[in-house]
Chain A
Amino acid sequence: MPQYFAIIGHKDNPIYEAEFSIQQGNQKNLGFSQELKEMNPFILHASLDIIEDLQWQVVPSNSQYTNGNNSDNGSNFSISSTGGFLRSKTVNNTDNCYLGKVDHFYGLAITAYISYGGMKFVMIHGTSNSGGSNTSASVVIDDSACRSFYQEIHELYIKTLMNPFYRAGDPISSPVFDSRVRSLARKYLNK
C-alpha cells in the first residue's frame, strides 16, 4: 500500500513531502493514482485541525472513553469527541508525540506525529488499489511500526536542525535526508 508523507511547519507550510510505493517485480506501480496524487496535499491539510486539537490534549487518544478514572476526563470529553472516534485503539496513551490514526478519507487513513517543536509529521496510508473508488475496506495500521518510523524521522529531523545553515521552517532539500526517509519507509512500512 502506498503512503504519502509530509512534514508540516508552524505556518502550515510543507517542509518535506514524499511518496512511498511498493515495487513488486515487474508489476505495475502500485502507487497512488494520478488524481489522488494531486488530492493528497489537500486531504492531509484537512486533518491539520484535528491534529492541532489533539496537540493540547492530556491524553490524545480515545482510551479515555473507557477509562473513567482519568482526572482530566471532564475537560477533554467534549473536545476529543470531534476526532476521537476516528483514532486507532491501540495507541499507547502515555505517549503524546505519536497520535496514531487521526482522520480518514474514503478508505484512506491518516496518521500523525508531533515533534517537540510543534512540527507535524503526517502520513496518508492508501490501500493497494486505491485507484479504484469501489474499495470500501479501510487501511489497517500497524501502530508499533508506524511509531518507530515516525521516531526515526523525528531523529533525522533533529539532525537536520543541528545543521547551523538550516533555518527552521525551510524546506528540507537534502538528498541524504530524502534517501534516509525512503529507506526507513522500506524498513517499517512496506514490509
Chain B
Amino acid sequence: MSQDIIYTSTSDESFKNRSTGYEYTVGPKPSLPDECNRSPLTSKLYSESLNTKRHEVSLSAMTFLFQEMISSLHKECKTVTEFETKLSNYGESIGSRLLELLNFRSSISPGSSSRTSTFLTSSTSVLSSQTSAPGTNANYTNNTNNNNGGGSTGNGTRSRSNTGASSKDYASSIKTSNRDSSDRHHHHHQVESLTSQISKMRRRDLKILDILQFIHGTLWSYLFNHVSDDLVKSSERNNEYMIIDNQPPLTQFISGPNNRISCDYFICGIIKGFLTNAGFRCKVTAHEMPQGQFENRTVYLIQFDNQVLEREAIRFDQP
C-alpha cells in the first residue's frame, strides 16, 4: 500500500475511470450519467444473504485444518511465545469479522423468522411464504437444544471460514429455486438484503460487561454450539475477566497440557480480535485449570488496557 504513488489531485483527468472500482490513489469517482442504464454487476459475494444458515463443519475436518496450521507454525517459529502470538493473530482476523457479522445478525427482528428449521428446506419455504429467511433466535434455540451446555462431543464446530461454507449453501438454494425462473428472481431479490427485516439495529456494546456477555453467549454459541461455561470477574484485579470452557472442543485431541494450552491461543486470538475491534483493547491468554472431571478445563484470561477502564469510569461511573 505504501509503495503506490498517491496522485496529487482528483482533478487529473488522465486517471479518471482507470479502474472500474474505487481507486484510493485517485479519489472518489463521481457518478456518471450512463450509470443508470448499465446493468448491475453481479458477484456471488455480494448477492448472498448474510442471514444465518445452519451448517456445521465437521470436527474432524476442522481439526485436520487446525493441525496443519499448527504444524506449519511449528516449523517457522523458534519460541513458544512467537508461536502463540502468530496463532493468536490467525484468530484475530476471525474475531474482527465475527464482531460485525454476529452483531448484525442479532439486529434482525425475531418476528421476521417464521421457521425453526433453517437448512436446505429453507429456500423452498422462502419462496412460498413472503416473510423470508431465518432469524437468529430460531437458530440459537436450535443450538442449545442440540447441545446442552456440556461441551460438544464430536458434534463439530461451526463454520469458521464463512465464505467457503456459505457458497455451498448458495448453490443449494439456487438449485431448489431453479424450477421456476420468476420464483427464482423473487427469491433472489428477497434474500439479498436484510435491512428491510431490521427495525432497529442492535446497540453497539459500550460497557465491558455487555460485550463480555455477548462473547459468552452469542459468540460461543456460534463457534461451539453452546454458551461458555462461565464468565468470571477477577476479585484481585479490576481489569481481569475470565471466560471458562470446561472442554475446549478444538484442542481436545492434542496431548500434553503445555502443547494444548499453546494451541488454545487460537481462541484467545478470536476473543482478542473481537474485543479490540469493538474498542476494548486487551490481552488474552489461555491457562489450564483442571477441576473435577474436566481435565482440559481452560480459562481464557482477558486483561483490559487501562484506557478501557478509564473510559468506562469517565463515561458510566458518574453518580
Assess whether A137 is interfacial by the CB under 8 Å rule.
Answer: no
Known contacts: A19-B29, A178-B29, A179-B40. The answer to whether A74 contacts B22 by CB under 8 A is no
The interface size of chain B toward A, counting residues with CB under 8 Å, comes to 60
A–B complex contacts, Cβ < 8 Å, 8 sampled: A23-B31, A23-B33, A74-B318, A115-B100, A116-B204, A154-B104, A159-B45, A171-B1
In the complex, identify which listed stretch (B123-131, B192-200, B257-265, B284-292) lies at the interface while the others stay far away.
Answer: B192-200
Say whether B35 contacts A182, CB under 8 Å. yes
| A-B interface, 7 closest residue pairs, ranked by CB to CB distance from nearest | A75-B318, A175-B20, A17-B28, A175-B21, A116-B103, A176-B43, A171-B24
- List 16 extra interface pairs beyond A155-B50, A179-B41, A182-B31, CB under 8 A: A17-B22, A17-B24, A18-B29, A34-B11, A41-B27, A116-B204, A117-B99, A159-B50, A162-B162, A170-B1, A173-B22, A173-B23, A174-B43, A175-B20, A176-B21, A176-B46
Which of B54-62, B172-180, B248-256, B308-316 forms contacts with chain A?
A: B308-316
Chain A residues near B101 (CB-CB < 8 A):
158, 161-162
Contact partner of A94 (CB less than 8 A), chosen from B1, B40, B203, is B203
State whether the Cβ of B163 lies closer than 8 Å to any Cβ in chain A.
yes
Q: Enumerate chain B residues within 8 angstroms of A111, measured Cβ to Cβ.
A: none
Residues of A within 8 A of B161 (CB): 164
- Please classify the interface of chain A as helix (H, G, I), strand (E, B), loop, or mixed, using the class held by over half of its residues: mixed
A37 lies within 8 A of B277 (CB): no
Taking CB atoms, residues of chain B closer than 8 Å to A142 are none
Contacting pair A173 B201 (CB below 8 A): no
In the bound complex, CA of A164 to CA of B97 (Å): 10
From the candidates B19, B22, B206, name the one contacting A18 in the complex (CB within 8 A): B22
Determine the distance from Cα of A64 to Cα of B79 in the docked complex, in whole angstroms: 54
Q: Which residues of A contact B (CB under 8 A)?
A: 4, 6, 10, 14, 16-21, 23, 29, 31, 34, 37-38, 40-41, 55-58, 72, 74-76, 92, 94-98, 114-118, 148, 151-152, 154-164, 167-168, 170-180, 182-183, 185-186
A58 surroundings in chain B (CB, below 8 A): 206, 315-316
Q: What A residues does B11 contact at CB under 8 A?
A: 34, 37-38
Q: Pick the residue among B36, B41, B198, B277 that contacts A118 (CB under 8 A).
A: B277
| Residues in A whose Cβ lies below 8 Å from that of B31 | 19-21, 23, 31, 182, 185
User: Which residue of chain B is the closest to A37 with respect to CB atoms?
Assistant: B10
**Nearest chain A residue, comparing its CB with the CB of B40:** A179
Selected contact of B28 from candidates A18, A72, A177, CB within 8 Å = A18
Which chain B residue shows the least CB distance to A148?
B195
Q: Is B315 within 8 A of A75, CB to CB?
A: yes
Q: Does B138 contact A (CB under 8 A)?
A: no
Query: From DSSP, what is the main secondary structure of chain B's interface residues?
Result: loop
Collect the chain A residues with CB atoms within 8 Å of residue B316's CB: 58, 72, 75
Question: Could you tell me the distance in whole angstroms from the C-beta of B249 to the nearest C-beta in chain A?
Answer: 22
Distance, CA A173 to CA B33, complexed state (A): 21
Alpha-carbon distance between A104 and B210 when the two chains are bound, in angstroms: 33
Known contacts A74-B319, A155-B195, A176-B42; A95/B203 CB under 8 A: yes
Q: Are A168 and B318 in contact, CB atoms less than 8 angstroms apart?
A: no
Q: Which residue of B lies closest to A34 (CB)?
A: B11
Q: Report if B152 contacts A (CB, 8 A).
A: no
Which residues between 239 and 282 of chain B lie within 8 Å of chain A, taking CB atoms? 277-279
Give B94-117 as 1s and 0s: 1 = Cβ < 8 Å from A's Cβ atoms. Answer: 001101110110000000000000
B104 → A minimal CB distance (Å): 6
B122 within 8 A of A: no
B9 on interface, CB distance cutoff 8 Å: yes
A172 / chain B contacts, CB cutoff of 8 Å? 21-22
**Contact of A161 with B97 in the complex, beta carbons under 8 Å:** yes
B contact residues around A40 at 8 Å (CB): 28
B21/A173 in contact, CB under 8 A:
yes
Query: Which chain B residues border A56 with CB–CB below 8 Å?
Result: 206, 279, 311, 315
| Chain B residues with CB under 8 A of A94 | 200, 203
- When C-beta atoms are compared, the residue in chain A nearest to B43 turns out to be A176
- Cα distance A37–B38 when bound, in Å? 25
Instruction: Report whether B36 and A186 are in contact in the complex, using a CB–CB cutoff of 8 Å.
Output: yes
Contacts of B195 in A (CB 8 A): 148, 151-152, 155
Knowing A95-B200, A115-B100, A154-B104 are in contact, say whether A162-B163 is a contact too (CB < 8 A).
Answer: yes
Asked if B30 CB lies within 8 Å of chain A CBs, one says yes
- Residue B48 at the A interface, CB < 8 A? yes
Closest approach, in angstroms, between the C-beta of B250 and any C-beta of chain A?
Answer: 19
Nearest residue, chain B, Cβ from A31? B30
**Residue numbers in B under 8 Å from A175 (CB-CB):** 19-21, 41
Cβ contact within 8 Å between B21 and A161: no
Would A159 and B200 be within 8 Å (CB), given that A17-B27, A18-B28 are in contact?
no
